[in-house]
Amino acid sequence: MGTYLLAAVVVIVDTRLLMAAHSDGLPPAAVVGYALTVALVVALRYWSPPASFVVALVLATLTGGTYVLLLWAAYQAGRAVISGTGTAVVVGAAVGGLGAQLVTRAGQPRAIAPLATAFIVFVALPLVVGRYLAQHERLVSALGQNNRQLRREQEIIAERERLDERLRIARDMHDSLGHRLSLVSVQAAALEVSELPSRQQQAVRQLATATRGAMNELYELVGALRERDEALPGAPGVPAIGRLVAEFQAAGVSVTLRERGEPLPLSTAAGQAAYRVVEEGLTNAVKHAPGQPVTVNVGWEDGALLLTIANPLADPPTSRNTVGAGHGLTGLSERVLPAGGFLDHRLAGGSFRLCAMLPCVPPGVAEQPADDSHPTTIGRFRAVAVGFAAATLMFVVLPATILAGVG
């Protein structure tokens, strides 16, 4: 829309300038014919900018004016010309037009300087500015495309390295831990069918069940490591916390589960992190404070899930009662933080507390991808600076030169 409006302004302004140059008046047919001719030249630009520029030069030579049309056609030709042949045609037409104007004014020496200046300002300068801006836009576009391609290649390389590392971990877990758990499972199954007192039989049955569950989780983890997505829909989440607590209770651990609030939607990563926080908290309580009661609090607040696992310290304290003795809490941080959550663990008041906060998923929120397809701010500033310099030359240098020629 803006382009067509500018073309209409070119036709109107150039026609008015022609009428003002002939103060004695022009026939209405001549004015209409000139306006139609300018409009045809403007329309020709949408088919071939160099051809429109050549016709504008011919019209300027015949009328001795048409500078607004010439300025617009030269700029458009400068933006459109890419090949060497097109550049040669445009430059040759500009030089030929200047030569024709000089021939027609051979008997007017004082008119040569203003004519040459007018050609520099209305022909050469718009050509150069149009060419520069077009090349600048193409360069910015090419740089943006190259940056996007480089970013994609880097992401592919990083993804490949990550998958290779996950495959290596999956193989090591399957070959080492998988075989050991299989051996424990076979031994537990053998004890399960042997003749034992009822109390020991119940303990062996729980051991065999826990071992088979551990093997299933191990193989699920190995399968997840071999997939592209880390967070699988079937992985344990918040709904499985109750079953986890029941398993520890069945194993003889004094665990109390307290829930409050209405459950809210969580991302898959946040749900898995919540489950692992409770699992690690219970495991640490059994390991470092055996026989002590454990309290698990699951609270739903506005936009967040709050988890707290607390247990008194062992009496007497064991040497492993220091915070962060193993890698479990570090692994929890590596799960909670990427999910947008917060993790804290401390010894206070004779008890150990493990706390986590995980954000819920707000409805209707989607991440907007970054758009780097537009020119940079520096590129925009450079284009504006070029346009300002060209306008300064047109409206300052040209009048000064014409006045100097008249004087």
Cβ atoms 324, 305 nearer than 8 A: no
- Alpha-carbon span 30 to 165, nearest angstrom: 81
- Alpha-carbon span 288 to 321, nearest angstrom: 6
- Alpha-carbon span 322 to 327, nearest angstrom: 12
- What pLDDT does residue 234 have? 57
- What pLDDT does residue 21 have? 66
- Alpha-carbon span 46 to 51, nearest angstrom: 10
- What pLDDT does residue 398 have? 47
- What pLDDT does residue 258 have? 95
- What pLDDT does residue 5 have? 77
Q: What is the CA radius of gyration of the chain?
A: 41
- What pLDDT does residue 389 have? 56
- The full set of domain ranges for the chain reads 2-145+375-406, 236-363
- What pLDDT does residue 325 have? 46
Nearest partner of 90 among 116, 118, 124, 59, judged by Cα: 124
CA end-to-end span of the chain: 43
- What pLDDT does residue 80 have? 81
- What pLDDT does residue 70 have? 80
Q: Is the pTM of this model over 0.85?
A: no
- What pLDDT does residue 260 have? 93
The CATH homologous superfamily for domain 236-363 is: Histidine kinase-like ATPase, C-terminal domain (3.30.565.10)
- Alpha-carbon span 285 to 274, nearest angstrom: 17
Q: Which residues of the chain register pLDDT less than 50? A: 320-325, 366-376, 384, 388, 391, 395-407
